[in-house]
A and B are shown apart, each in its own frame.
Chain A
Amino acid sequence: MRGVPAWALKGSAVCLTVLATVGSTAYVGDHVKDRSAPLHPSLRPETEQVTLGPAVGTTTSKPVTETNVS
């Protein structure tokens, strides 16, 4: 038996690779953003913690109103 010729094996390798490319394009196209993707920087959870504090503070500027004392 002489077996499958080299050109047919090479063609099969190209076909399988193209098939993988087409299949992965279809899959990735349908799942553009994956929340469970571990590496994409824009999808990573924020590591900086937001510290909450008082939003209203006192000022040192001159008051614009005055209170009459009788």
Chain B
Amino acid sequence: MNLDTFMWILARVSGLSASAALAISLLTGLALRSAVLDWLATNRAVRATHEFTALLWIPLGVLHVIFLLLDSNVRGTLRLIDLVVPFQAGFGSLALGLGSLSLDLFVLVAITGWLRRRINAVAWRWIHRLSYVACALVFLHALLGGSDFSSPQVSAITWSVAAVLAVLSLARVAWGRLSAGESRELRPEPRAELRSEPSREARTRR
């Protein structure tokens, strides 16, 4: 196996791993607003996980691009500018362009995420919503250009995850954010012995 083949393998592996981490990030992000993981954990824990997943998918996504550029076969036809400016590549311009566009959007979302406290809340929210578009573009990029999408093993997992996330995203768009009251109604009622137990705050007050 030569170096180019090795880089090609690493690019594919990092791309698939980045997609998995991105799916977790999207799921936790959706859960924050739709209470879909309310049965599992508090919103605070889900938020912490959502922020943490950026440390997983961003490096993997960067590695995907770096490994591609280290493959001399790809480097010969893909320029650095093609990573930023979409639909200009000499081959596979649609598939690669969708990847470039999603990269641009993710960079924007990541930077504004770190600068959240310095940005107007409404502007930040609208910019952050672009991550839904970016995820859809990543899926199309993988569908049109992914080397492993033709295999049933990979495509079954990817299509299933994408379908779940699409349904949750559409539900989020259709019904908006569940209020705290609705979220509580969805939770199971606490058992009688737990209900009678005084809360930690009450015990502290005593």
Contacts and interface: CB of A to CB of B under 8 A. Distances in A.
B21 interface: yes
A27 B48 CA distance: 32
A39 B41 contact: no
Contacts, number: 108
Contacts of A6: 41, 44-45, 48-49
A27 B154 contact: yes
Contacts of A13: 21, 24, 28, 49, 52-53, 56
A36 interface: yes
B203 interface: no
Given A21-B17, A29-B9, A41 B56 contact: no
Interface residues of B, number: 45
A15 to B, nearest CB: 10
Interface residues of A, number: 31
Contacts of A36: 150
Q: Main SS of chain B's interface residues? A: helix
A56 B40 CA distance: 79
B200 to A, nearest CB: 10
By Cβ-Cβ distance, the 10 closest A-B pairs, closest first, are: A20-B20, A37-B147, A24-B16, A6-B45, A3-B41, A6-B48, A9-B49, A21-B17, A42-B73, A4-B41
Interface of A: 1-6, 9-10, 13-14, 16-17, 19-21, 24-25, 27-29, 31-32, 34, 36-42, 44
Interface of B: 1, 4-5, 8-9, 12-13, 16-17, 19-21, 24, 28, 40-42, 44-46, 48-49, 52-53, 56, 60, 73-74, 76-77, 91-92, 95-96, 144-145, 147-148, 150-151, 153-154, 187-188, 190
